[in-house]
A and B are shown apart, each in its own frame.
Chain A
Amino acid sequence: RKEVEQDPGPFNVPEGATVAFNCTYSNSASQSFFWYRQDCRKEPKLLMSVYSSGNEDGRFTAQLNRASQYISLLIRDSKLSDSATYLCVVTHNFNKFYFGSGTKLNVKP
């Protein structure tokens, strides 16, 4: 079983739409959680960390549900520039990162 699973998409949405991605993880001892953004074959970049209480950064909201072992990312008022692949990342043992295979988002005019 994969450590982290994501719906690969693609999610095709119009500008201004709200879109949500989910990610599930298998190890209940996972300690830290992140969303990274990756543009086509470029290096991933941190979008936001995910905290137990949930957190927001502008149009982006991340939630963590430890009981059900999933993480979510909500993007409001989608922009064309949000088109990318979103990677869910979890860590455990303080030394290993586990990446989901990514969810592709296409925002269309």
Chain B
Amino acid sequence: EAQVTQNPRYLITVTGKKLTVTCSQNMNHEYMSWYRQDPGLGLRQIYYSMNVEVTDKGDVPEGYKVSRKEKRNFPLILESPSPNQTSLYFCASSFQGAGEKLFFGSGTQLSVL
């Protein structure tokens, strides 16, 4: 089944403790991206990747890192999480980029205490 797999579904952590949210797609998509969703603000793009080893900042990249070493995986790294990063996070992919249908993972609810 074609899908974007995102883990974990829920994560509670403390300020400053490094964490990684994983994202993997099995559709051979070139484009992958991360979003955070906050009430009243909608989804905001954190980082995106057009292909392996090609990543770029979205609108809210501060405090986040990503890597794209393999086509299928696009992990989101929070080196030193802070409470303002408490949010609902979504990973998404599309075949070649903006202009095409986005397939979303099921989301990660992160709480930073």
Chain A interface residues (CB < 8 Å from chain B): 4, 8, 31-32, 34, 36, 41-46, 49, 87, 91-102
Interface centre among A41, A49, A96, A100 (most CB of B within 10 A): A96
**B41 close to A (CB within 8 Å):** yes
Contact of B90 among A31, A44, A98 (CB under 8 A): A44
Contact of B107 among A8, A36, A41, A102 (CB under 8 A): A41
Could you say which interface size class chain B belongs to?
20 to 34
Contact of A91 among B35, B50, B98, B109 (CB under 8 A): B98
Q: A97-B98, A99-B43 are in contact. List 10 more A-B contacts (CB 8 A).
A: A4-B42, A32-B100, A36-B102, A43-B107, A44-B90, A49-B101, A93-B98, A95-B31, A96-B59, A99-B35
CB nearest neighbor in B for A2 = B42
- Beyond A91-B99, A94-B99, A95-B56, is A8–B40 a contact (Cβ under 8 Å)? yes
- Beyond A42-B107, A44-B90, A87-B42, is A97–B50 a contact (Cβ under 8 Å)? no
Q: Are B42 and A102 in contact, with the CB atoms below 8 A?
A: yes
Chain B residues with Cβ below 8 Å from A43 are 90, 104-107
**B65 close to A (CB within 8 Å):** no
CB nearest neighbor in A for B6 = A43
Q: What's the Cα separation between A94 and B100 when bound, in Å?
A: 9
Q: What's the Cα separation between A98 and B60 when bound, in Å?
A: 12
